[in-house]
């Protein structure tokens, strides 16, 4: 089978998928194409359901270029015949896993494991990425290359760190799933260090016990996953796997994947009565986000792990989505004091989804004179607070301000960052809060207000931190090139990572040491406490 032989292409295949393109294309603003598996003749086993060894590479090494051509040709055909434009193309899906296996029965036919998939270790992934990069550049497509749709941030980190510079440079957008949730902050910081957009491109699952269309547990589960992913990953997009699932296998397995379930074997003359369309509480609670946090809004930091907050794109309102998964009502206080303007008595509208209803609007609560509003949310609920009467930013809202002195205290050790004895690097030092040797100036060197602004970290002596040749140095100088710039990341717990804007490496306590004099260097993101720093304003001690 060859991509240049027109007789080897069947453009009538996948009619149902192509029907969906035409059905929804008027309402879709961003298209991504992704591949679960190459065609069977480009696989090692000869099956698109995976290899006979699910941990062995499944894409034929001698067919990688043909696979890239296949991806481009199909994308070009879909664009041409259906009138859409792909924004991104991702060639692989959860590749570095042992999910994708094929077993043959006595009759020589596959048994079970019929989902498409193809294992690919990091080296093969990079080969595919580079081949697709070349094919895209030679094509008429404007699509960017996204990768690698790995099942978890942990495996995403493993894959990315194994690529060479050429492989990393070939990727335009980073995609990761959160079926595993460890090392989210590593994926976040990798994306910031590489200066590439990050998508949480797939997740779903079963929450609670069994399939239920009334239990609130599935709704609470997906809502908390959204909150956690947004707080720790900071993705620019968050995607559900499939909003619509086949009811029958979900019912047989006692699972509740999907927000909408329809029996896929309905006859052509079926009606909603004979073949019902059912929604579970995921459908309800997801709308607590999508109806109120709109594209273009800016997600902002909160001080707890139960909520997501966003400021509207025009800056004149705010939204907070709060998940209460406990069995008791909870009082939630919204501190609005960091806004520049807060209109006392402006309304805060609660909108609740729980076992009793979906998107039920409650009684508005007025903002108090102290710029706060307190509302009580029901047990086992997801509540959206729609906040009006706020605008701008208070002068003291920013953590980092010009002219202020800060201590950088290691989360793991509790000790402050100080210059080394010879002044050429930095080490762990004092716990004395008044020690001026632990004072640093954190100076914003970019002009924006986003989560990827760059900062120079300068000691009170005038020297600055920089990543030079893989080592953290304390150097003189007033100009800040990218190697002397860091990007600050936080999950809202008061601690931060510092991602070098040139190398992507993080400020890191070597060997996870905790003793005075332990060297501090730079290392790839690992989500460890030895890479997190509490930024403490010491300005009141200076006069």
| 54, 101 contact by CB (below 8 A) | yes
Residue 2 inside a domain? The answer is: no
State whether residue 194 is helix, strand or coil: helix
The pLDDT of residue 299 is 96
426 and 384 assigned to the same domain = no
Mean pLDDT, rounded, of the chain: 95
- List Cβ neighbours of 522 (8 Å cut-off, separation of 6 or more): 467, 470, 471, 472, 500, 503, 505, 506, 507, 508
387 and 340 assigned to the same domain = yes
Among residues 158, 235, 144, 170, the alpha carbon closest in space to that of 198 is found at 235
Residue 492, both tokens: 């809202």
CATH no. for residue 247? 3.20.20.80
The pLDDT of residue 111 is 87
pTM of the model: 0.96
- Domain holding 233, by residue range, is 16-296
156 and 111 assigned to the same domain = yes
**487-523 burial, b if ≥16 CB within 10 A, otherwise e?**
bbbbbeeebbbbbbbebbbbbbbeeebeeeebbbbbb
| 435, 538 contact by CB (below 8 A) | no
The pLDDT of residue 47 is 96
Ranges of H-type helices in 163-214: 165-170, 184-194
Ranges of H-type helices in 291-426: none
The pLDDT of residue 432 is 86
Residue 455 inside a domain? The answer is: yes
Residue 452 inside a domain? The answer is: yes
289 and 324 assigned to the same domain = no
Residue 67, both tokens: 């696979």
401 vs 415: CA distance, rounded Å: 23
CATH no. for residue 478? 2.80.10.50
Q: What is the pLDDT along the chain (543 residues), one digit of tens a residue?
A: 678 888 889 999 999 999 999 999 999 999 999 999 999 999 999 999 999 999 999 999 999 999 999 999 999 999 999 999 999 999 999 999 999 999 999 999 898 767 899 999 999 999 999 999 999 999 999 999 999 999 999 999 999 999 999 999 999 999 999 999 999 999 999 999 999 999 999 999 999 988 999 999 999 999 999 999 999 999 999 999 999 999 999 999 999 999 999 999 999 999 999 999 999 999 999 999 999 999 999 999 999 999 999 999 999 999 999 999 999 999 999 999 999 999 999 999 999 999 999 999 999 999 999 999 999 999 999 999 999 999 999 998 888 999 999 999 999 999 999 999 999 999 999 888 789 999 999 999 999 989 999 999 999 899 999 999 999 999 998 777 999 999 999 999 999 999 999 999 999 999 999 999 999 999 999 999 999 999 999 986 444
291 and 311 assigned to the same domain = no
266 and 333 assigned to the same domain = no
Last-in-domain residue among 296, 318, 342: 296
167 vs 146: CA distance, rounded Å: 12
Residue 11 inside a domain? The answer is: no
Residue 400 inside a domain? The answer is: no
The pLDDT of residue 542 is 43
CATH no. for residue 310? 2.60.40.1180
Domain count for the chain, please give it.
3
470 and 501 assigned to the same domain = yes
274 and 148 assigned to the same domain = yes
- List Cβ neighbours of 272 (8 Å cut-off, separation of 6 or more): none
The pLDDT of residue 14 is 92
Last-in-domain residue among 268, 296, 324: 296
424 vs 496: CA distance, rounded Å: 23
33 and 168 assigned to the same domain = yes
249 and 310 assigned to the same domain = no
Residue 484 inside a domain? The answer is: yes
360 and 410 assigned to the same domain = no
436 vs 434: CA distance, rounded Å: 6
141 and 287 assigned to the same domain = yes
Residue 1 inside a domain? The answer is: no
495 vs 493: CA distance, rounded Å: 6
Residue 399 inside a domain? The answer is: no
16 vs 30: CA distance, rounded Å: 20
**170-182 burial, b if ≥16 CB within 10 A, otherwise e?**
bbbbbbbbbbbee
State whether residue 409 is helix, strand or coil: strand
243 vs 256: CA distance, rounded Å: 11
Last-in-domain residue among 335, 368, 391: 391
């Amino acid at each position: 089978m060859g991509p240049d032989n027109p007789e080897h292409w069947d453009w009538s295949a996948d009619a149902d998928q192509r029907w969906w393109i035409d059905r929804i294309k008027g309402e879709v603003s961003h298209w991504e194409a992704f591949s679960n598996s190459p065609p069977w003749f480009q696989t090692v086993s000869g099956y698109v359901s995976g290899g006979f060894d699910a941990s062995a590479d499944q894409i034929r090494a001698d067919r990688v270029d043909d696979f890239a051509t296949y991806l481009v040709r199909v994308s070009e055909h879909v664009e041409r015949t259906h009138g859409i434009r792909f924004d991104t193309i991702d060639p692989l899906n959860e590749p570095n896993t042992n999910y994708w296996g094929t077993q043959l029965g006595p009759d020589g036919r596959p048994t079970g494991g019929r989902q498409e998939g193809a294992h690919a270790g990091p080296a093969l992934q990079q080969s595919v990425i580079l081949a697709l990069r070349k094919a895209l550049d030679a094509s008429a497509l404007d699509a960017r290359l996204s990768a690698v749709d790995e099942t978890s941030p942990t495996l995403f980190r493993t894959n990315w760190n194994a690529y060479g510079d050429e492989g990393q440079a070939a990727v335009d957008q980073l995609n990761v799933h959160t079926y595993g949730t460890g090392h989210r902050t590593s994926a976040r910081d990798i994306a910031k260090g590489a200066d590439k957009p990050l998508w949480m491109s797939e997740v779903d699952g079963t929450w609670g016990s069994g399939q239920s269309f009334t239990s609130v547990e599935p709704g609470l589960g997906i809502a908390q996953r959204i909150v956690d992913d947004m707080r720790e990953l900071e993705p620019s997009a968050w995607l559900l796997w499939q909003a619509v699932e086949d009811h029958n296998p979900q019912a047989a397995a006692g699972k509740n994947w999907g927000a909408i379930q329809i029996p896929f074997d309905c006859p052509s003359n079926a009606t909603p009565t004979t073949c019902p369309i059912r929604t579970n509480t995921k459908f309800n609670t997801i709308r607590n986000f999508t109806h109120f946090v709109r594209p273009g809004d800016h997600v902002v930091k909160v001080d707890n792990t139960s909520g997501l907050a966003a400021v509207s794109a025009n800056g004149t309102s705010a939204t907070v989505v709060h998940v209460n998964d406990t069995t008791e009502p909870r009082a939630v206080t919204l501190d609005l004091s960091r806004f520049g303007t807060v209109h006392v008595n402006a309304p805060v509208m609660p909108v609740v989804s729980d076992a009793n209803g979906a998107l039920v609007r409650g009684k508005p609560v007025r903002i108090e004179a102290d710029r706060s509003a307190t509302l009580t949310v029901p047990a086992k609920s997801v509540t959206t607070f729609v906040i009006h009467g706020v605008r701008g930013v208070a002068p003291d809202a920013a953590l980092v301000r010009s002219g202020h002195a800060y201590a950088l205290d290691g989360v793991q050790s509790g000790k402050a960052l100080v210059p080394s004895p010879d002044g050429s690097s930095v080490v762990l030092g004092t716990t004395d809060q008044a020690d001026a040797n632990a004072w640093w100036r954190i100076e914003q060197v970019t002009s924006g207000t986003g989560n990827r602004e760059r900062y120079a970290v300068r000691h009170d002596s005038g020297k600055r931190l920089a990543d030079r040749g893989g080592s953290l140095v304390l150097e003189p100088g007033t100009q800040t090139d990218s190697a002397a710039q860091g990007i600050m990341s936080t999950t809202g717990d008061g601690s931060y990572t510092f991602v070098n804007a040139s190398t992507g490496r993080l400020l890191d306590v070597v060997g996870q040491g905790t003793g005075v004099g332990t060297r501090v260097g730079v290392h790839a993101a690992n989500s460890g406490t030895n890479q997190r720093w509490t930024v403490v304003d010491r300005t009141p001690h200076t006069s």
